Amino acid sequence: MSERPVHLRWRYLGVVALGGAVGTGARAALAAAFPPGAGISWTILAINVVGAFCLGLLLEALAHRGPDVGGRRTLRLLVGTGVLGGFTTYSTLADDTAQLLDAGRWGAGAGYALLSVGLGLVAVAAGVLVAGRFRPSTVGPGAVDPSTVGPGAVDPSAVERAGDAS
């Protein structure tokens, strides 16, 4: 019998839900403390940019520390999917943009949307770069083998077995 996919395991669903509650609570508290000015929610913009940076930082750091299993998987789901997924809110960005457009503020609506998405992309890249500066060494004892990390990782024993077959 094969193992259930991660998204169907109650343990991981609970981890994501717990993280989501924390992230959503933090976002709601910040949004209430700093309401929109002139119809533009600068707080939501800042939340989305900070969240994008943190997600880039987290995923890059985890990708270079080994496969997505055990504690790394739990941390990714708790903080990445849960906390940061609940903290950031691109649905509110879409709603705020739609309200600006409905009010005839086309320039403000388009600018807000483009600024949010553009800054989010820059923030993710910055998070990846910052995490890359603290990447574990790939030289020496206890080093992480880069071929076993992240998407497209190569299983060295599979390579050896393929070589034996020829």
> What range does the domain containing 29 cover?
6-136+150-165
Evaluate if residue 149 carries a pLDDT over 70.
Answer: no
User: What pLDDT, in 10s, does the model give residues 12-44?
Assistant: 999 999 999 999 999 999 999 999 877 788 999
- Residue 143 counted as domain residue: no
Output the pTM of the full model: 0.75
pLDDT at 68: 85
Evaluate if residue 138 carries a pLDDT over 80.
Answer: no
How many structural domains does the chain have? 1
Residue 152 annotated as binding site: no
User: What pLDDT, in 10s, does the model give residues 107-119?
Assistant: 999 999 999 999 9
Average pLDDT of the segment spanning 71-82? 94
Instruction: Evaluate whether 133 touches 61 at the Cβ level (below 8 Å).
Output: no
User: What pLDDT, in 10s, does the model give residues 77-123?
Assistant: 999 999 999 999 888 889 999 999 999 999 999 999 999 999 999 99
- Residue 142 counted as domain residue: no
pLDDT at 36: 84
Q: What's the half-sphere exposure (Cβ side, CA atoms, 13 Å) at 52? A: 19
- Residue 141 counted as domain residue: no
Q: Mean of the per-residue pLDDT values for the chain?
A: 83
Helix (H) or strand (E) holding 80: none
Residue 19 annotated as binding site: no
**Residue 4: band (very low, low, confident or very high) from pLDDT cuts 50, 70, 90:** confident
- Residue 58 counted as domain residue: yes
Question: CA-to-CA distance for 32 and 55, rounded, in angstroms?
Answer: 23
pLDDT at 137: 59
- Residue 61 counted as domain residue: yes
Question: Which letter does DSSP use for residue 7 in this model?
Answer: G
pLDDT at 67: 87
Angle separating helix axes 10-33 and 42-63, nearest 10 degrees: 150
Question: CA-to-CA distance for 128 and 130, rounded, in angstroms?
Answer: 6
pLDDT at 2: 67
For 64-79, letters b (16+ CB in 10 Å) and e give bebebeeeeeebbbbb
- Residue 1 counted as domain residue: no
* Residue 86 in tokens: 């609940």
Average pLDDT of the segment spanning 52-68? 92
Amino acid identity of residue 72, one-letter, is R
